[in-house]
Each structure stands twice: as structure tokens, then as C-alpha cells.
Structure 1
Amino acid sequence: MTITNALAGLAVENITVAMAFYERLFGRQPDARPMSEVAEWKFSTGGWVQVFTDADRAGSSLVTLIVSDINELVDDLAGKDIKPVAKRSGDFAKTAIYRDPDGNQLVFSQTLRNTY
């Protein structure tokens, strides 16, 4: 089996509210709206984030997104009035943790060393 890509799903209660947050977070509108209750953002080096309506599971999702410069990301999001709930740093990575309006956890991580 060869896995060629990944799609991370985030369950939300209200797609309109969630889209406004994610458009601000990612700085652009979704790349796809395959259904009225789904919005998807594609990343240039692979992978997608899919935000979808599922009131029963809203707020229980987690996604980790790898960035090249965590400090730049934190500064950029602070300028959009999006603040981390926590920051962590270790020998291998630095992270900033955010929550969307439903409480889903968004972890942004910068790898400091190649661990693979």
C-alpha cells in the first residue's frame, strides 16, 4: 500500500461560523465546497483540512499542521486576533496550540530536527 496524501477532518456545529474562522486563519477562502456542509483547504505541498458539519462530534477534533517558522505564524495570527491557548518547545519541535470556535484543537508545529 502506498499512501500519497492525507485529509484531516474537523467537526463543527455551524459551517458558516467555522468558515469565517478558518478563512481568517488560513488567509483565504476554501479551495473546495464539495457539499453545502463541507469546506476544504488544500496545502501547496500536500494535504487537506476538511471542515464539516457534525453537531454530535463538534469540538472533539484535533489536527497538527507543520509550519516552517512558528514565530512568524504566531505573529501573523496575532495580527488577525487569533491567539494561542498554549505554546510548547522541546528538543525536536516548537508548537503553538489554538482552538476554533467549537473547541477543536489546532496544533501548529515547527520541526527543529529531522526525527525520521
Structure 2
Amino acid sequence: MIFEMTTQIRVKDIKEGQRWYQTLLNRQPDFIPHKGFAEWEIISGCWLQVAEGTPSEESGPIRLGVRDIKGERERLVKELNIDEFEIYSRREVPVKWGTFTDPWGNLLGFFEYLDKTEEEERIKTLVVNK
């Protein structure tokens, strides 16, 4: 039985990386177990680890669900100088999505449910299971 998940992103400079990811996620890390490492619990049981090291090429993207992808894109353009963040949608896909990169080349992104009732049901499920 799988009950939790972690994913790791590597950055060349942990201080700069931690600062960048704090801005992206709008909060401090939940856990800093040792030098060169910071960790955020994105949702219950789902952890994003930022570690100092050599970034991996062509992995990802890691996409995070948000309620307002356009608003988040505007925030990232302003606060993190993200300049390439197109938002896409397709008739057969129930979300709109966009991908961008961090300063170390890691692929990240956001997605937003088109059906707001479905979005609220997903959020309720996550909160109940927390």
C-alpha cells in the first residue's frame, strides 16, 4: 500500500533555491533536516524536496493544482520574473495547464480544473483525508 509521496528537485545553490521556492509556494519550508535540503508538504502526504546538487535535465514537469491559474501566472511573472508561462486547454481535457521552469531548468507547472464543482469535490476529498 502506498500512502505518501515525495519528489525531489535539485538546485545549484540551496539558499537561492529555498528563497525561490518559498516565493513560489507562498510559505516557509515545513522541514529542514540538514544543510542543503528543504522540504514542503504540498498536500497531506505529498512532499516537495529541494536539495542542493546538479539539476536533472528533461525531467518533469511537476504540476500543482491551483484555483486560479491566470492569477498565479501573474504573481509568478511579478515576483519571480517568470517570462515563459503559456496556459493551454483542450476540449477533451478537464483542466487548463501551463508549464514554466525554475532558474535551474527544472520543469514546473500549474493546472486548474475547468469544472469548479469537480474542483471543490477534489478539495473536500483532500481535506477530509488529511
Measured against the shorter chain, the TM-score band is 0.7 to 0.9
TM superposition score normalised by structure 1: 0.80
Code of the residue aligned with 2:51 in structure 1: it is F
1:89-100 paired onto structure 2 within 5 Å: 89-91=89-91, 92=93, 93-100=95-102
Q: Which structure dedicates a bigger proportion of its chain to strand? A: 1
* Aligned Cα root-mean-square deviation (Å): 2.0
Change (3 A) 1:59 1:101: farther
Looking at structure 2, the residues matched to 102 and 59 of structure 1 have their Cα atoms a distance apart, in angstroms, of 9
TM superposition score normalised by structure 2: 0.72
Q: Which structure dedicates a bigger proportion of its chain to helix? A: 2
Aligned residues between the structures: 111
Match of 2:111 among 109, 112, 116: 109
Q: CA deviation at 1:74?
A: 1.4
Q: CA deviation at 1:5?
A: 2.4
Looking at structure 2, the residues matched to 85 and 100 of structure 1 have their Cα atoms a distance apart, in angstroms, of 11
| Structure 2 SS opposite 1:34 | coil
Looking at structure 2, the residues matched to 34 and 77 of structure 1 have their Cα atoms a distance apart, in angstroms, of 28
For structure 2, list consecutive stretches of 5 or more residues without a partner in the other structure.
Answer: 119-130
Rg larger in structure? 2
Contact 2:20 2:80 in 1 (8 A): no
Aligned-residue identity in percent: 30
Looking at structure 2, the residues matched to 19 and 81 of structure 1 have their Cα atoms a distance apart, in angstroms, of 13
For structure 1, list consecutive stretches of 5 or more residues without a partner in the other structure.
Answer: none
